[in-house]
Amino acid sequence: MSDAADARPGASAVLPGVTYVMPVLNEVDYLEAAVRSVFAQHYDGPVELVLAVGPSTDGTAEVVERLVAEEARLRVVDNPDTDIPIGLNRAIAVARYPVIVRVDAHTTLAPDYTSRGVATLERTGAASLGGIMVATGRPGFQLAVARAYNSRFGLGGGAYHGRHAKEGPAESAYMGIMRKEALDALGGFDESLRRGEDWELNYRLRHAGRLVWLDPHLVVSYWPRSTWPKLVRQFFATGVWRGELVRRLGARNPLRFFAPPALLVVLVLGLLLVPVLVLGVLPGWLAWLLSAVYLGPLLYLGLLGVAALRSSGGLADRLRFMLAVATMHMSWGAGFLVGAVRGARDVVDTSRTES
């Protein structure tokens, strides 16, 4: 993974060049911080950032224009269809360097993210690696969502959400520090997907015999959705596309993905049983047997309460945390069932385009 470009003065060796790729759509509040965190990296190799810019309506285009005028290493490709995998592939197609680092406009990188990531890529021989996502938020609902993201109960135990994860081979890689040659060999991201494209890409890498790696010392700060409607739309769309991946890949999806839809099904069955049990139309033994369906929701409520108690803040903060977690689970579960039953079709995440 050598590169002919010269490293900055003082570098001990010529390091591989890095191309950061970032899909952008309606990110006026977060884009500048994300871009500046890229160019503030403590990395002695040559770098560039390619933005795949969709048709934003919130002033993002003006921010992009200003940043391009200020920074010669910043380039732009158009992404008129707004789909993330297409934008990523367009950015990767014009990349000058052999290491691809995906960055989202809602994230900021720790200063040593690139230097450590490239060193880990070289040390392990991995084709793709990622680190830990640490969500952060402004006081109020966004902070509650961030706490839900950071809670193991909130997102179901994915390794890159765990602060105590161990380094080693991984199922997927959050964001992704990747070898361009490995991406080119697989044809890049699957452009038929609108969500879950990173997990699917790493799935194909693993099944091609390439190594996917987790380095928990790589930290990315993430700003989640800031309102309840946006959170619902985001997680519903994500669930739909996970259901679509289940249709395509079947049991090769981790079991944890089936927990939210199973919980939702049990909740619906419990609601449907209420009038039957109240009217007493069933034999006593059968009514008692069917009442077992409520054990799942009661256990869930208990676990949700425990998670809220372990969270920080006052009563209002803990209640918002419970709302955020339940919203994530139920929206994702509902979307999963839709996607698994009839496919994703044209479902998109509108949380970036609608207020």
Q: What is the pLDDT of residues 250-309, one digit of tens each?
A: 867 788 889 999 999 999 999 999 998 888 888 988 989 999 999 999 999 999 999 999
Does the pLDDT of residue 10 top 50, yes or no?
A: no
Q: How far apart are CA 173 and CA 182, in angstroms?
A: 14
* Environment class of 179 (CB within 10 Å of its CB; exposed 0-12, middle 13-18, buried 19+): buried
Containing H/E element for 216?
A: strand 212-222
Q: What is the pLDDT of residues 29-70, one digit of tens each?
A: 999 999 999 999 999 999 999 999 999 999 999 999 999 999
Picking from 4-18, 77-91, 167-181, which range would have the lowest pLDDT averaged per residue? 4-18
Q: Hey, what domains does the chain have and what are their CATH numbers?
A: 18-226 (3.90.550.10), 249-352 (no CATH)
Distance CA 353, CA 307 (A): 32
| Tokens, residue 147 | 């706490």
The whole model's pTM is what? 0.87
- Listing DSSP states for 230-262 in one string gives HHHHHHHHHHHHHHHHHHHHGGGS-GGGGHHHH
Degrees to nearest 5, angle at CA 131 with 232 and 225: 20
Q: CA-to-CA distance for 135 and 181, rounded, in angstroms?
A: 31
Which of 296, 317, 299, 300 lies closest to 308, judged by CA?
Answer: 317
Question: Tokens at residue 95, please?
Answer: 């990349």
Q: Which residues contact 186 (CB under 8 A, 6 or more apart)?
A: 201, 204, 205, 208
Q: Which residue has the tokens 């994860």?
A: 165
What separation in angstroms does the CA of 265 have from each of 78, 211, 251, 260?
41, 36, 19, 9
Identify the pLDDT of residue 155.
76
3-state secondary structure 285-329: HHHHHHHHHHHHHHHHHHHHHHHHHHCCCCHHHHHHHHHHHHHHH
* 27 contacts 106 by C-beta, under 8 angstroms: yes
Statement: residue 144 has pLDDT above 60? yes
Using a pLDDT cut of 90, give the percent of the chain over it.
Answer: 80
Any residues with CB less than 8 A from the CB of 9 and at least 6 apart, and which?
none
In whole angstroms, give the CA distance from residue 24 to residue 274.
Answer: 47
Q: Which residue has the tokens 């509650």?
A: 144
Helix or strand holding residue 279 (H, E): helix 259-279
Which pair of tokens denotes residue 56?
A: 């934003």
Beta bridge partner(s), residue 77: 52
pLDDT at 314 over 80: yes
